[in-house]
Amino acid sequence: MHKLEDKKVIFLFIPGPIGGAERIVLFGMKALVEQGVNASLWIIKEERVPHVAEAFIKLLIENGIKYQVLSTKSIFDPSLLKNLKSLLQMEKPEILHAHGFKAAFYGKLAAPKSSHLIITHHGKTGHTLKVKLYEFLEDQIMKTAKAVIAVSREMKKSLVASGINETKIIVVENFMTSIIVPKTSTGAVPYKLLFVGRLSPEKGCSVLVEAMKLVDPNILHLRIVGDGIERKNLEQQVIDLKLQDSVHFTGFQSNVNKFMATCDAIVMPSYREGQPLTLIEACCMGLPVVASRVGGIPDLVVENKNGFLCQAGNAVELSQALVKFSENVKNLQDQADQLKSKYNERFSSKTWATNTINVYEMVLSQR
């Protein structure tokens, strides 16, 4: 096996609004450097929406992460490709680790022959025809990569079904990217449910609002933390269903720990997921979870132990799961609390870094 001390690793990433992938890239870089890997981060800044990359860069600076910025002004930018190819030829990294479709696309076209392209697939959304096309193209690029990192076993199955060679897909689970804070919830009625995430169609928040209409508003209250293209529609849905007293919007929050600490359960009604960081954080904090039976969620949520699962898109089934939670709060919280030490070890940044390094060494050992 090769050692990485004298090998160069470059992360290539195009940041979007701060979410799971952004946090994994940021704190993953930090974890690798702490393990002695010669890793650097190259980010591509979309000049059409400069504030997105600037928010990510601010977090990099706050966390002491070194980075290099390349810019693009269009969906496909030949000048960016030329610049990236030139820089990679000079640097000649042994590992070029791309995160997400656009980074994988440019990385595939620009990587020197001496570099090994590894792609981390963070999941699919497929909520528009354009996104579906991008995801199809990403599948084709992943077929040519030296290795593909999937964040859950279910994602690996999905990638194999897309035609990617199973032997090159390695599961490396995401990790806890924030500091655990003590729970302060009183566990009193009304029980506090929390949704955290991007407000876009694939997250299923409209189904959650519909489910809230089917439960007792004196027993369950919901706080929605996040922002996105669906927010106005969701706010109108809450008004239409007369749920203003039991469903509340908080908007985007850079630190959701204080909301997680004061809630009684996390709700994840997604249509599709990889392995969501909010779920990992909930499990590491010892919080019960009510969620859709999709992606990597069933790997963490054990039915009637630390939560309940339901069919994605089914408001009635989701409402029934929420009622079951309300009838078993103390038992679920106790069992979730007992599992948290196991989850904290499983989802530590050190575990992630070790597993990622193993992927690098495996690729470098191949001829």
* Residue-level pLDDT, tens digit, the chain, 367 residues: 346 778 999 999 999 988 889 999 999 999 999 999 999 999 999 999 999 999 999 999 999 999 999 999 988 899 999 999 999 999 999 999 999 889 999 999 999 999 999 999 988 766 678 778 888 899 999 999 999 999 999 999 999 999 999 999 999 999 998 877 788 888 899 999 999 999 999 999 999 999 999 999 999 999 999 999 999 999 999 999 999 999 999 999 878 988 999 999 999 999 999 889 999 999 999 999 999 999 889 999 999 999 999 999 999 999 999 999 999 999 999 999 999 999 999 999 999 999 999 999 999 998 6
Task: Map tokens 């804070």 to a residue.
Answer: 181
Question: Which CATH architecture does the domain made up of 191-346 adopt?
Answer: 3-Layer(aba) Sandwich (3.40)
Residue range(s) of every CATH 3.40.50.2000 domain in the chain: 8-175+348-365, 191-346
How would you label 10-30 residue by residue, b for 16+ Cβ within 10 Å and e otherwise? Answer: bbbbbbbbbbbbbbbbbbbbb
Q: What is the per-residue pLDDT for 3?
A: 66
Torsion of CA 133, 136, 140, 141, to 10 degrees: 70
What class, spelled out in words, does domain 8-175+348-365 have in CATH? alpha beta
